[in-house]
Amino acid sequence: MESGLSSLLSVSIDFETSHLFFPRIIHWIMAGLFVLILMTKVAPFMASVKRGERTLPIVGEARDNFRFIGTLVLIAAYFYFMAVVGDMFPYTGYGFLLVSMVFVLLMSLLYLHDWTKKALTIVVVNAIVAPSLAWFVLAKLFTITLP
Amino acid sequence: MEFLSLLDITFFLLAGFGALVGIIFGAIPGMTATMAVAVCLPLTYALGLHHGLALLLGLYVGGISGGMVPAVLLNIPGTPSSITTTFDGYPMAQKGEGEKALKICVIASVVGGLISAAILFLFAPLLADFSIKFSYVEKFLIILLALSVIASLSSSMLIGIFSGVIGIWLSLIGDYSISDGGNGKTRLMFDFMEPYLFEGFSLLPVLIGVFGISTILLEAEKGAKSGLVNERIKISKGGGFSLSIFNGRLTNLVRSSFIGTFVGMLPGVGGSAASVLAYTQEKNLTRDSSQMGKGAPQGLIASESANNALTGGALIPLLSLGIPGDSTTAVLIGAFTLQGIQVGPLFIPENTETWYVMMTALVFANIVMFFLMFYAIKYIAKVVMVPKHILFPIIVMMCVVGAYAINYGIMFDVWTLLIFGILGYLVQKIGLEVAPLIIGFILGSQAEVYFVKSLESFGTFSIFFTKSPIAMVLWGLIVASVMFAIVMGFKSRARQKMELTQVTGSTRTASGKGHETDND
């Protein structure tokens, strides 16, 4: 019995495949937990969704779609164009500076609810000043690499 | 006392500046101490180790303290940890005692912060000394213990463990590093990803994405309403503040500080747990709790001293074991790595000077926080009004700088921000927990090395149980934390059932509450 148990527990790891040993264990644990959660949490939750007591997360929720999707698109475009413009002026940080100005302006406008003259002025000034300040302090004073 | 020569005027200015920026971040609802640290990271790249530490610790202390401002004035906790401050703070503000309430909070905060700093100073070296003898087996068990404690204190243990395991899984993407004794092969990815992900996701972009970008997404979804502009902020003079308020409240102050420190030590437990625990303890133990919740100073004292005591507490496991105590210290661990510091059992013995510098920064940050908030609270209270359409784009911009510069200009790190921003958003939406996930991510790759190396050298799973008495004690603690979670789960379920049978009419509201995410 004793030897049976110790042979059950003994393990030898082949160095060539040792990078897969731990991930495999994690996969099994993840799968096990996922099934448990499906049974104890998701199933009752779905049942209450069916009865109309709750709504599905994300899909069934009210959301400001315009601002949410807008944010995602703006951020993705921001990252993309930063690299593109940055490649035109390598090692200067201009890519960051120029694209950030446009990004800050557009995102501020996206989130601005009341388009008054005063608010718009602040937005425009901020879009020019904030990236310039960040660029000057980080890239010039601290010589940090920027795109 | 050699470390004194390392302190210069810049050091103190940076700690003070950090505290100020932290307070501002903490004071803006939705912005947290974690975010303050994440956003200001790029500033530390150019600073030396000690100056960087001063700034980071200032931000940490300030960020946790700042949350009291909107909690008292607007009934909105600025950070999750000031949730209980709203219970008594807002009623006081409504009575026109806003300034008095804030000043009580400030004093409680500084006492909590200093007590926890003292405990940190005494306790961290001891723990480090003890853990220095740990082999891979014990180190693996420590990580297992950390994860099981996080999971058992999550709103549901199953969800907590699952979130932690997802974090571990994410950390395994990339190669099994040769420098850790692995074979250098990649896993959990397709071939085309190899140029980007050979070393896996970088820690800091992941953290900045999860805590910075996903917060923006969650706010954008709600329409990024400013909402606060129309509310009048009342901070009326009202005077009435004197130190005599603290008479007879010393026990409360000290007890709450200890509770805060202790909860801070438990890995992955957010600040709200500390203040809620301290608040309920005060309610249970005090002679007269009738005024609590209606504007009693004692509630403020309990809440604020506990949440500031978190700072010292959370640094204990970070510095002595390399395990972050909360999400802010998780970002700190990244910042330390960047400065070339490996936190763990050897950190304090090998870097005594840095250790003293850190303590100085922590204490000084608490003192600056006190003076800033005690005398300038009226002006600081105004930052609650900064409109989101100005703030958010700047935050995204700073996140980008932080991610891009971390490895000296890798664009993929910037995309990591977006990937983990969206992931963090989804995780919080479907009710998983962020804190265990992040701690799992940070500790995952170490856990792998310790686990595989232990098995390679001993060749049997039983080594994890029989290696040493410490291993057995650790197993005892792991089992205890799991049992604790199960018992608490049953208790709360029984309580829920009782409530359900008592109030049969309003069943829906009781069960309608989902998981509360607790990440600060």
Q: Give the tens place of pLDDT for each residue, A48-100.
A: 888 888 888 887 788 888 999 999 999 999 999 999 999 998 888 899 999 99
Amino acid at B106: V
Evaluated on CA atoms B159, B161, B167, B170, the torsion sign reads negative
Residue type, B372: L
Nearest CA in chain A to B429: A57
Length of chain A (residues): 147
Q: Is B326 helix (H, G, I), strand (E, B) or coil?
A: coil
Q: Which residue of A has its CA nearest to B452?
A: A22
Residue, of B34 and A117, whose pLDDT is higher: A117
pLDDT of residue B13: 93
pLDDT tens sequence across B175-228: 888 888 788 888 888 888 888 888 889 888 898 898 889 889 988 988 877 655
B211 near B35, Cβ under 8 Å? yes
pLDDT tens-digit series, residues B313-332: 999 999 988 888 778 888 88
Chain B residues 153-212 within an 8 A CB cutoff of chain A? 156, 158-159, 161-162, 165-166, 168-169, 172, 175-176, 182-188
Q: What is the largest CA-CA distance in chain A?
A: 84
- Residues B145 and B475: their CA atoms lie apart, in Å, by 8
Q: Which of B170, B391, B400, B467 to mutate to test the interface with A (most CBs of A within 10 A)?
A: B400
Instruction: Give the rounded percent of residues in chain B with a pLDDT score beyond 70.
Output: 92
Give yes or no for residue B515 having a pLDDT over 60: no
**What does the pLDDT look like over B137-188, one tens digit per residue?**
998 998 898 888 878 777 788 898 999 999 999 999 998 888 887 888 888 8
Of B365, B396, B400, B181, which Cα lies nearest the Cα of A15? Answer: B181
How far off is chain A from B420, nearest CA to CA, in Å?
Answer: 13
pTM for this prediction: 0.84
Residue B519 predicted with pLDDT over 90: no
Contact between chains at B393 and A104 (C-beta distance less than 8 A): yes
Q: Which ipTM score applies to this complex?
A: 0.92
Helix or strand or coil: residue B223? coil
Please name which of B163, B188, B208, B164 lies closest in space to residue B415, comparing C-alpha atoms.
Answer: B208
Query: How many A-B residue pairs are in contact by the CB < 8 A criterion?
Result: 185
* Closest CA–CA distance from residue A1 to any residue of chain B (Å): 15
How far is B391 from chain A, CA to nearest CA, in Å?
Answer: 8
Contact B418 A53 (CB under 8 A): no
Residues 249-308 of B with CB under 8 A from A: none
CB contact under 8 A, B456 and A18: yes
Instruction: Kindly state whether A98 is in contact with chain B, defined as any CB-CB distance less than 8 angstroms.
Output: no
Report yes or no: B284 and B456 within 8 Å, Cβ to Cβ: no
DSSP annotation of B7 reads -
Nearest in space to B99 (alpha carbons), one of B228, B242, B231: B242
Q: What is the pairing mode between strands B174-175 and B186-187?
A: antiparallel
Facing residue for A37 by CB, picked from B162, B225, B405: B162
Average pLDDT over residues B333-362: 88
A29/B216 Cβ within 8 A: no
Over its C-alpha atoms, chain B yields an Rg (Å, rounded) of 23
Give the residue, B338 or B102, on which the prediction is more confident: B102
DSSP per-residue letters across B471-491: HHHHHHHHHHHHHHHHHHHHH
Q: Using the predicted structure, report yes or no on whether residue B507 has a pLDDT greater than 60.
A: no
B 438-497 near A (Cβ less than 8 A): 447-448, 451-452, 455-456, 459-462
Cα dihedral B386, B388, B394, B398 in deg (nearest 10): 100
Q: Is A2 on the interface with B (CB under 8 A)?
A: no
Is B55 in contact with A142 (CB distance < 8 Å)? no
Contact, B35 vs B395, CB < 8 A? yes
Give CA–CA dist B413/B405, Å, rounded: 9
The CA distances from residue A42 to A46, A49, B425, B467, B492, in Å, are: 6, 10, 19, 40, 19
Query: Is there a contact between B143 and B323 (Cβ–Cβ < 8 Å)?
Result: yes
CB–CB of B456 and A63 under 8 A?
A: no
Verify whether the Cβ–Cβ distance A146 to B392 is below 8 Å.
no
Contacts of B223 in chain A (CB under 8 A): 64, 67, 113
Is A59 touching B (CB cutoff 8 A)? no
3-state secondary structure at position B258 = helix
CB-count exposure of residue B36 (10 Å: 0-12, 13-18, 19+):
buried
Instruction: List CB contacts of B192: < 8 A, sequence separation 6 or more.
Output: none
B229 touches chain A (CB under 8 A): no
In this prediction, what percent of chain A has a pLDDT beyond 90? 48
B-chain CB neighbours of A58 within 8 Å are 426, 429-430
Of B110, B30, B114, B27, the closest CA to residue B66 belongs to B27
pLDDT at B294: 86
Q: Which residue of B has its CA nearest to A28?
A: B165
pLDDT at B119: 95
Confirm if A142 and B43 have CB atoms less than 8 A apart.
yes
Nearest to B139 by CA among B323, B327, B342: B323
Would the CB atoms of B460 and A6 count as touching at under 8 Å? Answer: yes
Helix, strand, coil abundance in chain A, percent, nearest 5: 75, 0, 25
More confident residue, B147 or B112: B112
| Contact (Cβ atoms closer than 8 angstroms) between residue B145 and residue B471 | no
**pLDDT of amino acid B516:** 39
Q: How far apart are CA B89 and CA B75, in angstroms?
A: 8
Note whether B158 contacts A79, CB cutoff 8 Å.
no
In Å, how far are B138, B225, B396 from B455, measured between CA atoms? 13, 54, 44
At residue A39, the pLDDT reads: 92
CA distance A106 to A99: 11
pLDDT at B72: 86
User: Which of the residues B391, B397, B423 would you substitute to probe the A interface, choosing the one with the greatest number of A C-beta atoms within 10 Å?
Assistant: B397
- A22 to chain B, any CB pair closer than 8 A? The answer is yes
CA distance A15 to chain B (A): 7
Q: Do B169 and A111 touch (CB under 8 A)?
A: no
H or E stretch at B36:
helix B33-45
Residues of B in contact with A107 (CB under 8 A): 389, 392-393, 396
Q: What are phi and psi of A91, to 5 degrees?
A: 60, 25
**B70-74, B293-297, B306-310 — most confident range:** B306-310
**Cross-chain Cβ contact B390/A126 below 8 Å:** yes
* Overall size of chain B counted in residues: 520
- Cβ distance of A130 and B397 shorter than 8 Å: yes
Round the average pLDDT of chain B to a whole number and report it. 84
Tens digits of residue pLDDT in B453-475: 999 888 888 889 888 888 999 99
